[in-house]
Amino acid sequence: MELYNSIIEKIESHIGSQTPIRYDYNPNKCWEDVGGNQLVMMREAAYELGGDSKPAVNYACVTSGDYVDKDEILVYGKDLHEIRGSVPFARVAVIKTKDLVGEGEEDTEPLFRAIQDIDFVKYHVYPKGYMIRSSSDSFREQVRVSKEAVSRGINFEQVGNSYITQFKKNPDVIAVKLIFLTVDDADYAGLRADAKKTRDITLTLSKILEGMATDCHSCNLREICDEVEGLKELHFGKEKKEFKG
């Protein structure tokens, strides 16, 4: 399943010049999870990732290609316990799955469902003192971090372990690379553009699944289908299969 590969290949070019700190996944080093929505009031907050209108980007790309060889967390820039004020922020997940579209198969439903399940993980992680506010329209993921969490030493390794633990509950997931960015010199506009493209690909899959018409000339998804290798094949493969019954 290689629809998102061209986006994955651009991640490095969006990141600034810094070398990341890498952590291997360790399920025993997760930050405490409160199990549901929490409120961190402004007066309790140490700072916000993406606060004061700074960039705050999030997206997840699914692939069965060789982009992820183990579960790991990469941190570019200051870690949570080192930040003193609003910083730009991005969290990008690259998720290696089993091949969800096998050779010669045209059924988009398992693929779409798996991608959706994986994407929904972001709504099931509730690190204590790390209040996430997501907007799927603007691709923002802004995080308010509490003074208490900072004084207790919260860091991206622990928060990343919490995310990866959730991702790995899905049996289709093989390995996860989770990237946190707080550097000033990353190309956040480029990351945001790719967050949108990721969303557009998933949206196109859902439209294909709904059984929309197959005239590319009059289709409003043509731009993304022209750009992303594999989408047209998926659509017309599905139609062929349904026609055959």
Residues that bind ligand SF4 (CB under 6 A): 204, 207-208, 214, 216, 219, 221-222, 225, 231-232, 235
User: Which residue lies nearer to ligand SF4 by CB, 138 or 206?
Assistant: 206
Cα–Cα distance, 105 to 153 (Å, whole number):
48
In the complex, minimum distance from the CB of residue 2 to ligand SF4, in angstroms, rounded to a whole number: 16
User: Which residue lies nearer to ligand SF4 by CB, 140 or 222?
Assistant: 222
In the complex, minimum distance from the CB of residue 235 to ligand SF4, in angstroms, rounded to a whole number: 4
User: Which residue lies nearer to ligand SF4 by CB, 140 or 207?
Assistant: 207
User: Which residue lies nearer to ligand SF4 by CB, 67 or 236?
Assistant: 236
CB contact at 8 A, 177 and 74: yes
3-state helix, strand, coil in the chain (%, to 5): 40, 25, 40
User: Which residue lies nearer to ligand SF4 by CB, 46 or 208?
Assistant: 208
Distances (CA, A) of 8 to 66, 71, 194, 234: 11, 16, 9, 20
In the complex, minimum distance from the CB of residue 117 to ligand SF4, in angstroms, rounded to a whole number: 22
CB atoms within 10 A of CB 242: 11
In this structure, the strands spanning 173-181 and 72-76 are parallel
What does the chain come to in residues? 245
- Give, for 141, the enclosing helix (H) or strand (E): strand 140-146
